[in-house]
Amino acid sequence: MTSAASPEVPVLVRHEWCKGCGICIAMCPKKVLEAAPDGKATVARPEDCIKCETCEIMCPDFAIRVVGGRSKGVAEGKGDVAGARA
Protein backbone atom coordinates (compact mmCIF):
# COMPACT_ATOMS: atom_id res chain seq x y z
CA MET A 1 0.00 0.00 0.00
CA THR A 2 1.20 3.48 -0.81
CA SER A 3 -0.15 6.48 1.08
CA ALA A 4 -1.91 8.95 -1.18
CA ALA A 5 -0.06 12.04 -2.35
CA SER A 6 -1.82 15.38 -2.52
CA PRO A 7 -0.81 19.00 -2.04
CA GLU A 8 -1.55 18.41 1.65
CA VAL A 9 0.43 15.14 1.77
CA PRO A 10 3.55 15.77 -0.29
CA VAL A 11 5.40 12.64 0.87
CA LEU A 12 4.67 9.12 -0.38
CA VAL A 13 5.77 6.06 1.60
CA ARG A 14 5.84 2.83 -0.36
CA HIS A 15 4.82 0.55 2.47
CA GLU A 16 5.78 -2.74 0.82
CA TRP A 17 9.38 -1.54 0.30
CA CYS A 18 9.84 0.14 3.71
CA LYS A 19 11.85 -1.96 6.20
CA GLY A 20 11.20 0.27 9.20
CA CYS A 21 14.84 1.27 9.73
CA GLY A 22 13.83 4.67 11.13
CA ILE A 23 16.43 6.66 9.14
CA CYS A 24 13.89 8.96 7.47
CA ILE A 25 12.14 9.58 10.79
CA ALA A 26 15.39 10.59 12.51
CA MET A 27 16.72 12.67 9.61
CA CYS A 28 13.58 14.71 8.84
CA PRO A 29 14.32 18.26 10.05
CA LYS A 30 10.61 18.95 10.67
CA LYS A 31 9.56 15.73 12.43
CA VAL A 32 7.00 15.06 9.73
CA LEU A 33 7.41 11.27 9.87
CA GLU A 34 6.63 8.73 12.57
CA ALA A 35 6.80 4.97 12.98
CA ALA A 36 3.50 3.16 12.57
CA PRO A 37 2.76 0.28 15.00
CA ASP A 38 4.44 -2.09 12.50
CA GLY A 39 7.61 0.07 12.63
CA LYS A 40 7.21 1.38 9.09
CA ALA A 41 7.30 5.08 8.28
CA THR A 42 4.09 7.04 8.14
CA VAL A 43 3.41 10.70 7.35
CA ALA A 44 2.18 12.10 10.67
CA ARG A 45 2.45 15.89 10.15
CA PRO A 46 2.28 16.56 6.39
CA GLU A 47 1.56 20.27 6.95
CA ASP A 48 5.05 20.75 8.44
CA CYS A 49 6.89 19.29 5.43
CA ILE A 50 9.28 21.72 3.71
CA LYS A 51 9.93 19.30 0.81
CA CYS A 52 13.67 19.26 1.52
CA GLU A 53 13.87 15.67 0.18
CA THR A 54 16.21 14.51 2.94
CA CYS A 55 13.93 11.53 3.66
CA GLU A 56 13.95 10.47 0.01
CA ILE A 57 17.73 10.79 -0.32
CA MET A 58 18.42 8.96 2.96
CA CYS A 59 15.97 6.06 2.60
CA PRO A 60 18.10 2.98 1.80
CA ASP A 61 15.07 1.20 0.39
CA PHE A 62 13.83 3.72 -2.22
CA ALA A 63 10.56 3.69 -0.27
CA ILE A 64 9.97 7.47 -0.04
CA ARG A 65 9.11 10.02 -2.71
CA VAL A 66 8.66 13.74 -2.14
CA VAL A 67 6.18 15.06 -4.66
CA GLY A 68 7.18 18.36 -6.21
CA GLY A 69 10.29 18.70 -4.08
CA ARG A 70 11.24 22.37 -4.14
CA SER A 71 14.87 21.97 -3.22
CA LYS A 72 16.83 22.59 -6.37
CA GLY A 73 19.95 22.25 -4.25
CA VAL A 74 19.16 18.64 -3.56
CA ALA A 75 18.46 17.94 -7.21
CA GLU A 76 21.90 19.28 -7.95
CA GLY A 77 23.50 17.34 -5.13
CA LYS A 78 24.32 20.47 -3.14
CA GLY A 79 24.57 20.69 0.62
CA ASP A 80 24.80 17.88 3.13
CA VAL A 81 22.43 16.06 5.40
CA ALA A 82 23.84 17.75 8.47
CA GLY A 83 23.08 21.08 6.83
CA ALA A 84 19.49 20.09 6.13
CA ARG A 85 18.99 19.15 9.77
CA ALA A 86 20.33 22.42 11.16
CB-based contacts of 29, cutoff 8 Å, min separation 6 = 50, 52, 54, 84, 85, 86
CB of 33 to ligand SF4, least distance (A): 6
By beta-carbon proximity to other proteins, the closer residue of 8 and 73 is: 73
Identify what 9 binds: other proteins, ligand SF4, none; CB under 5 to 8 Å per kind. Answer: none
Q: Is 21 in the site for other proteins (CB under 8 A)?
A: yes
| 31 contacts other proteins (rule: CB under 8 A) | no
Q: Which position among 5, 20, 44, 65 is part of the footprint of ligand SF4 (CB under 6 A)?
A: 20
Alpha-carbon distances, residue 16 vs 11, 12, 34, 73, 83 (angstroms): 15, 12, 16, 29, 30
